[in-house]
Every structure is written in structure tokens, then in C-alpha cells.
Amino acid sequence: MSVTRRTALPLFALPALLRPAPARAQAAWPDRPVKIIVPFPPGQAADTLTRLYAEQLSQRWPQRVIVENRGGGAGAPALEAGARAAPDGYTLTAGTSGTLGVNPSVLPRIPYDAERDFAFIGNVAILPLLIVAHPSFPGRDAQAVVAAAKARPGGVDLATAGPASSQHMSAELFAHMTGTKFNMVHYRGSGPAMADLLAGVVPLMFDSVTSALPQIQAGKVIPIAVTTPTRAPQLPAVPTIAETVAPGYGAYGWTGLVGPAGLPAELVAKINGDLNAVLREPAMQQRFLDLGGTAAPGTPEAFAEFVRREIAQWREVARIANVRLEG
């Protein structure tokens, strides 16, 4: 039986017909809105910064970028949702120092693997932390904080934004590296902790520069030392912990962007390139500085290695300080 001209195809045309549909669809990405899951309520630093670059990506891409807030559970439910999403580039997640760096060491039943369940796209911002004091505190530098703690082991109150928060873990690292012991007073967020610091209920606090900067500028609290290895650009006169009482000390708050594991390398590269272009815009860099952070564009590989180092550091701090969360 002969083959009619209507159905006959040359053999060289078969590979084009058999090419997987996702490859053709991927070329048009994004052809529908892209969602970024933020593991915190609106208004927190990670949410604010994510909304800033999401707005700019919406202008670069043919589709909108939508921010979806999923707070609660130390961010674990939000990260689980991001990890289980289809690896097609339409659901991304704002991974942070807490959800990716700290949670693996403090949550006994964490529903995701921070190193294996995500494709690392890029870091977004470094958020310096710092020690701040009520004006009634007798010292004005890190040496005075250490001296006070050594004079009264466990008797000096130090406020944090909550157990296993980046502020708490940074305080535990500080205590370990300086051989001191504090009475850690945990609050449900920076706001309530700062309120008690302003009232003189607690004399010291580990906080983010983002949260503390307005009170510092108003002269209501005293900046003691920042946690990053180099001084914060917003507070250039405030020394680092590393240069004063604990050489080698370094702790960060940070937020970055990840997708589900299996996200195609071409999409990772495209999103990273567009994200970095936004983060390198002078106006965006200044906006991040105004909010207490520093834009941190870089490669996916560098971000993945950074997260691995963070996990290793906070695993050791959690072990030394016996920090665990129920959940």
C-alpha cells in the first residue's frame, strides 16, 4: 500500500515532532504571572525587599510578579510549599537566613531539605545586625557589654526578636566567642523587643539595622557594634564585633531567591541575570541602603555556597547553645 502525499513526512522532520513540549514552552517564559512566596507577614524586611525587586522584574518581564505572604511556623510551611512547587519558574521563594540558614539545625521535624530541595538563584540583600543599648546602660562599646556580662554571668538581660531568630543566634555566637553568658529575653518580633528596650525594661538588644536605625537616628538607643565582618554603610562610625571583642566574628541577616530543585539551568540563569540587573541599579541600591540593607547581586553558585556556610555555622551554634524549636 502506498503512502499518500498528505501523510508522508521526511525522516529529518521526526525529531522536531518528537521534541518535548516543555522545551518549546520554556522559550516563552514567562507566559503567565510569576509568584514569589515570602515566609513572613507583610512589612518585615524580607517582604519589603522582595516587593521592591518584584516590582522591577514586573517591568522587565511580559508578566507580573506577585508576592504571596505565608507567615507562621518559623517559615517552614512556606518553604515546604516552595520546595514542592513545579520546577517551571512560576513559583519562586524568598529564602532567608532563618528559613534556610537556621531552621535546618533547630527544627526537629523540618519538612524540607535546605540544601537539596531548592535551586539557588541568587542572594538579594545582606541585612546587618547590631547590638543596641538603652541610654542608661553604663557602657558605650562592646568591651563594656562583655565586662558587664562577665561581672554578672547570666544576670544581664539581652532582648532578641524570638528564639532561633537570626538575632538570637547571633547573640549566642557572640556569647560563645566572648566567653560570656546572658539572660536571653525572647520576644515575638523586633517591635515588642524594641518597645521594652526603649522603656528601659531590658538594657541590651540584638536587632537588625533595618529595625533599629530610626531609633538610633532619633538618639533613643545607643549603637554598640555591628555583626557583619565590615562596618554597615548606614552606620560607618559604629565598629564591628570582629574588630573589638571577637576576631573572626561574622553574622548576617539576609534574603535571597530560590526555586524548586529541578528548575532548568536556563531559567536559573535568566532569572539570576534579570535579578542582578535590578539589584545593580543605583536607585535600587540606594533604596536598600535606606532600608538598612545592602544589595548583594552574585551568581547562583556563590549563593549556594554561601547558604551551605550559613547552615554549617548555625548548626554549630545551635549545638553549643542547645537551641531547639518545637515544630
Last residue of a domain, one of 157, 192, 226: 226
- Please check whether residue 241 lies inside any domain of the structure: no
Give the model's pLDDT for residue 71. Answer: 87
pTM: 0.85
Find the CATH number of the domain harbouring 189.
3.40.190.10
Q: Are residues 156 and 302 in the same domain?
A: no
- Please check whether residue 1 lies inside any domain of the structure: no
- Please check whether residue 240 lies inside any domain of the structure: no
Find the CATH number of the domain harbouring 263.
3.40.190.150
Return the C-alpha cell found at 321. Answer: 547553645
Contacts 24+ apart (CB under 8 A), 53-58: 53/124, 53/275, 53/278, 53/279, 53/284, 56/278, 56/281, 56/284, 57/274, 57/275, 57/278
Q: Are residues 279 and 134 in the same domain?
A: no
Contacts 24+ apart (CB under 8 A), 41-48: 41/69, 41/71, 42/69, 45/127, 45/208, 45/210, 45/211, 45/253, 45/255, 45/291, 45/292, 45/293, 46/94, 46/96, 46/255, 47/94, 48/291
- Please check whether residue 149 lies inside any domain of the structure: yes
Q: What is the chain's pLDDT, residue by residue, as a tens digit (327 residues)? A: 444 444 444 443 444 444 444 444 455 899 999 999 999 888 888 999 999 999 999 999 999 999 999 988 889 999 999 999 999 999 999 999 999 999 999 999 999 999 999 999 999 999 999 999 999 999 999 999 999 999 999 999 999 988 999 999 999 999 999 999 999 999 988 889 999 999 999 999 999 998 899 999 999 999 999 999 999 999 999 999 999 999 999 998 999 999 999 999 999 999 999 999 999 999 999 999 999 999 999 999 999 999 999 999 999 999 999 999 875
Give the model's pLDDT for residue 9. Answer: 41
d(CA 296, CA 134): 31
Q: Are residues 122 and 256 in the same domain?
A: yes
Q: Are residues 111 and 140 in the same domain?
A: no
Helix (H, G, I), strand (E, B) or coil at 69: strand
Q: Are residues 151 and 168 in the same domain?
A: yes
The structural domain count of the chain equals 2
Please calculate the CA angle 52-101-47 and round it to the nearest 5 degrees: 20
- Please check whether residue 294 lies inside any domain of the structure: yes
Range of the domain at 152: 129-226
